Structure 1
Amino acid sequence: MPNLMKLYYFDTEGYGEVSRLIFKFANVPFEDVRIPKTDWPAMKNEPRFLTQQIPILELANGKILGESKAIQYYLGKLYGFMGKDVFEDAKIQQYVFGLDDNGGAGKAIMLETDLAKKAELAKAFYVNVVVNILQNYTKFLNENGNNGHLVGDKLTVADLALYQALKTFMLFNIPIENEFPILSQFLVNMKEKVAKLSHA
């Protein structure tokens, strides 16, 4: 049996999930190495962890690739989840990077332990950051013909990144279903596609 690529990340979705989904949609076996957070301090100085951060992707030939979006781009190009030309590739990257334009506010909410402060941060996050993102990505879907994809007429890394972002926003009780129907339908459609993977 040939060596498989190994994706190293924590046992959560986070920055590793888009890459996991690319493997699954491509029907390509891989080693999903899920590191317990309690084990990470003792592991992070191993040579394979180039910057003491994860995710990393270890190729079958032993080469290492770090940074979540670099891994997504590599796997997307390898397995057909990027665009049909250089411009579409750039559009996909534009949409992927655009979802991170939140100044780290989402992470700050996750880390906050005081419930009152967490609620206050979540409200500010929605008003100051999320609404703008949701309005923009509604527009982007419409500009592409509202065909269920951000770029072209097939599933791309951009769609997977938007799917993960919307799932994360839902954790903060963002009213996507009531206020952003196009994104709500996109999320429903993507959930159905992902559910089919687990039953394939």
Structure 2
Amino acid sequence: MPHFKLNYFDIRGFGEPSRMIFHYAGQDFEDRRWAREQWPEIKPKLVGGKFTGKFTASDTGASPWLEVDGERIYQSVAIARYLGNLFCLAGKDGMENAQIDAMIDSYKDYLNDARAFFWVKSGMGQGNLEELKTKFDEASKRFFTFLQKRIEKVGSGFIASKISWGDFFLADGIKTTMNFDEEFEKKFPKMVEYKNFIFSQPKIKEYIEKRPESVF
């Protein structure tokens, strides 16, 4: 098995689904984390015509990235999908894989609408919270209603016939949304059940009990 090194901020965010996959698979990996204030030194900088960074810098100016025996994979979904295929956490066939991809792409659309609300409510951004809350509520209702229909249709408790890499993305996303929406459990009790079901998987449960807390 190759050496894995996951590079990301010291928060859950877009790195957390891959961390969860590693723990679920029982696979050792190097979990390289950094504080927010370190990021300017990690991002590549153009010096003398060459991109440099204080640490092993991001080639793209973005994170997370996964190093696999020196080869790099960028983009959180690409990393999670790669690990899903590697650790038998993909769909059973092409249709299931397409449905997993569709759910994750829909989740990313939801985040595009919800992100500003998260940032302002957490005090890390500026904006009209009331207006952002309206947009967030609309996006939340649209996406989580869609996700609930998918889970009910499949009937396995997951978004495919068995647990997949996509479930880790979505369950942790629900956790984040719950941190910003005090009424989420009242509005979407089935989504909370789904999140709890994923988090109750033995190796995931053990990891979650020990992982650092972060609002997102």
Preserved CA contact (<8 Å) 1:7 1:32:
yes
Counterpart check, 1:88 vs 2:88: no
Counterpart check, 1:161 vs 2:165: no
Cα offset, 1:190, TM superposition: 2.0
Aligned to 1:135: 145
Inter-partner Cα distance in structure 1 for 2:166 and 2:96: 11
Q: 1:167 to 1:80 in 2, by over 3 A?
A: same
Inter-partner Cα distance in structure 1 for 2:15 and 2:133: 23
2:60 to 37, 51, 70: 51
Which 5+ residue runs of structure 1 have no aligned equivalent?
A: none
Specify the SS of the correspondent of 1:57.
strand
Inter-partner Cα distance in structure 2 for 1:5 and 1:161: 19
Give identity over the alignment, percent: 29
Preserved CA contact (<8 Å) 1:5 1:31:
yes
After superposing the two structures, state which structure 1 stretch, 7-16 or 104-113, moved more. 104-113
Which 5+ residue runs of structure 2 have no aligned equivalent?
A: 45-52, 211-216
Amino acid at match of 1:13: R
TM-score normalized by the length of structure 2: 0.82
Q: How does 1:1-200 map to 2 (within 5 A)?
A: 4-45=3-44, 46=53, 48-60=57-69, 62-102=70-110, 104-112=112-120, 113=123, 117-126=128-137, 128-145=138-155, 147-152=156-161, 154-173=162-181, 175-193=183-201, 194-197=204-207
Specify the SS of the correspondent of 1:99.
helix
CA RMSD of aligned residues (A): 2.3
Q: 1:198 to 1:184 in 2, by over 3 A?
A: closer
Inter-partner Cα distance in structure 2 for 1:8 and 1:198: 19
TM-score normalized by the length of structure 1: 0.88
Q: 1:93 to 1:174 in 2, by over 3 A?
A: farther
Preserved CA contact (<8 Å) 1:96 1:157:
no
Deviations 1:68-111 (A, max 9, x none): 11101111101111112222211111111111113623221233
